[in-house]
Structure 1
Amino acid sequence: MNRTALRALLRERRELIAPEAHGLSRPTGRGRRARGLSQQQVDELTCRAVDTYNRLETGRYLHPPADYLRQVARLFGLNEQEWVSLCRYAGIGDPPGPLHPTSGLEVPGVWQEAVDGIRHMAYITDASWNLLAHNRRFAEMYPGGRPPANTMRWMLLDHAARDTTLVDWRTVWAPLILPQLRAAIAARGEDATLRRIEAEVRADPDLGPLWEAGGAHIHPDGDERPLHHALLGPGHVTICAAQPLTAPGSRLIIMLFRPGLQKAHPRAPMLRAGTP
């Protein structure tokens, strides 16, 4: 827990909230000079016992539950980055999921220009794997140069992906992709797109048993997998995965393609700063 940072964040944001906006009167009385909501009003609006919020703001509430932190964060109008900071300052680590259900569904438009400037295949999807941005090299991977609207649905359910593009789909690709879908649903249980894909996966005779078997591989960062490129033929891709910070759950994927039937090289060593 970082009590100093926690107190500063909460107090600053609490003082920006007008009580009148929530049907409350502005507190008055001797010594009352603070702006915004009082601590007691926060307890009232979050339906908590008196002194609950004071314990949180002063750092006396050890290991506060995530649902309470979410209440406070939404009341104070925090953004996703501030939500992460709140959870870390309060001592519970990274949040269990996004602050708002709609978070992760859009990224700043400048990302398209950034993706265009990458010389390898590159694309960005939102938290539901809907394609938001991609470069020309990524489009060329597909027959006719037409990438799919949703990359998760394409990887799992498109027959061209299974039979042609994603080489060794049953043994290499599908067992590593399904845990990603499962982890996303665990974090975003109300996401209608993810739930529809899950239903299609469960009903699929090939994927259903794999889905029930589970798996723990939840991201592709650093993986090398066989792939048949529509223009360049068979080869392998090394996958680099990252996330735009303003959109939790979204992902930037860069795919380094190397032609050939054999793997290009052993896993590259980890990058690490030298000792100063």
Structure 2
Amino acid sequence: MDDLAGFLRTRRARVDPVDAGIPTDRYRRVEGLRREEVAHLSGVSVDYYVRLEQGRATQPSEQVLDALARVLGLDETERGHLYRLARQRRRRARTPGGRVRPEVLRVLDLVVGAPALIMDHRLDVLAGNRLAGLLFGRAMPGLNTARHIFLDESERGLYADWDNCTLDVVGHLRLAAGRYPEDPGLASLIGELSMGSERFRRLWARADVRARTHGRKAYRHPLVGLLELHQENFALPDEGMELLVLSAVPGSAAEDGIRLLASLGANSADAHPTMNARIRESTDNRTP
């Protein structure tokens, strides 16, 4: 799904030679740095760097990785991704199981004034509170936000900043592919998105990585209009999941919109068990 060689090639092509102190002229046809330039600036042999980009060199040292990260101008997220790719053959990360503990679901139920959901590394929504279901217009679990954004044309209008959302999704999946290179479910999802979306294919080829832990999220809900929310991601390290909470600024139009959304869904709430209650029911019925 992801490899060190491809990541190095895309990062090398992104570097402006002038920023690296390399004089250029109008006859230069290479986009970014040449392989021998990266090798020289990193203090490694040209042959060794070529073998890295061809996938023939394994287990580069910490010193080599540090030098490459410096020359290629990697940020903190990209640097961590580089190290994970380089260590894939030494240590394979265990793919998370995808089961949400009842204790975590209880925490989710405590969030009553904002949409909140629990998501795994594949962007599968494993649980969500009532407001999250009302925001996305569907019961949870069962939603995969990557499919929702790239493949469901009828739902594209929900995302007020669709272009940036697609960058976030692809950057997240690139990080996940580096962490869990042997996850068949993730590989299948990436293949499905590649087959179904030209934009996904183009963004995936760029090999950009993103780790979004908080920031603005804007939705255009068909019933309550524009909702400008703040997304905060809370990592659940032992679970391999995240708790996402979408909050509105107090006194804002978005807060009024969330209240309206909650009231619109109140009449139907008693007719159906809550999403998390259904999860608990299925969990409790499992045999140990």
Tell me whether 1:212 sits opposite 2:205 in the alignment.
Answer: yes
TM superposition shift of 1:196 = 1.4
CA contact (8 A) 1:140 1:230 kept: no
Tell me whether 1:129 sits opposite 2:120 in the alignment.
Answer: no
What amino acid maps onto 2:180 in structure 1?
A: R
What amino acid maps onto 2:177 in structure 1?
A: I
From the superposition, tell whether residues 160 and 116 of structure 1 become closer, same or farther in structure 2 (CA, over 3 Å): farther
Q: Distance in 1 between matches of 2:140 and 2:238?
A: 28
TM superposition shift of 1:230 = 4.3
In structure 1, the residue matched to 2:12 is none
TM superposition shift of 1:102 = 3.9
In structure 2, the residue matched to 1:113 is 106
**Aligned partner of residue 223 in structure 1, secondary structure:** strand
TM superposition shift of 1:229 = 2.6
From the superposition, tell whether residues 234 and 252 of structure 1 become closer, same or farther in structure 2 (CA, over 3 Å): same
Which among 227, 232, 251 is matched to residue 235 of structure 1?
A: 227
Q: Distance in 2 between matches of 1:104 and 1:127?
A: 11
Q: Could you give the per-residue CA deviations for residues 69-111 of structure 1, whole angstroms, max 9, x where no partner exists?
A: xxxxxxxxxxxxxxxxxxxxxxx99xx7897634352232121
CA contact (8 A) 1:224 1:236 kept: yes
CA contact (8 A) 1:179 1:216 kept: yes
Which among 235, 239, 253 is matched to residue 244 of structure 2?
A: 253
CA contact (8 A) 2:219 2:228 kept: yes
**Aligned partner of residue 117 in structure 2, secondary structure:** strand
Aligned residue pairs, count: 168
**Aligned partner of residue 105 in structure 1, secondary structure:** coil
Q: Distance in 1 between matches of 2:242 and 2:93?
A: 17
Unaligned runs of 5+ in 2: 1-60, 62-82, 255-288
Quick one: percent identity of the two aligned structures? Answer: 20
CA contact (8 A) 2:174 2:209 kept: no
In structure 2, the residue matched to 1:155 is 149
Which among 158, 161, 165 is matched to residue 158 of structure 2?
A: 165
TM superposition shift of 1:257 = 4.0
**Aligned partner of residue 214 in structure 2, secondary structure:** coil
Equivalent runs, 1:1-276 vs 2, <5 Å: 101-118=94-111, 119-143=113-137, 148-162=142-156, 164-169=157-162, 171-203=163-195, 204-219=197-212, 221-248=213-240, 250-257=241-248
Q: Could you give the per-residue CA deviations for residues 155-188 of structure 1, whole angstroms, max 9, x where no partner exists?
A: 33222332x111231x221012111001101111
Q: Distance in 2 between matches of 1:254 and 1:180?
A: 17
Q: Distance in 1 between matches of 2:168 and 2:211?
A: 7
TM superposition shift of 1:130 = 2.5
From the superposition, tell whether residues 102 and 215 of structure 1 become closer, same or farther in structure 2 (CA, over 3 Å): closer
Give 4+ residue runs of structure 1 displaced > 6 Å after superposition: 96-99
In structure 2, the residue matched to 1:26 is none
Q: Distance in 2 between matches of 1:241 and 1:212?
A: 26
CA contact (8 A) 1:107 1:246 kept: no
Select the structure of larger CA radius of gyration.
Answer: 1
TM superposition shift of 1:246 = 2.0
**Aligned partner of residue 227 in structure 1, secondary structure:** strand
TM superposition shift of 1:190 = 1.4
**Aligned partner of residue 235 in structure 1, secondary structure:** strand
Unaligned runs of 5+ in 1: 1-64, 66-91, 262-276
What amino acid maps onto 2:144 in structure 1?
A: N
TM superposition shift of 1:149 = 2.9
In structure 1, the residue matched to 2:48 is none
What amino acid maps onto 2:243 in structure 1?
A: L
From the superposition, tell whether residues 243 and 125 of structure 1 become closer, same or farther in structure 2 (CA, over 3 Å): same
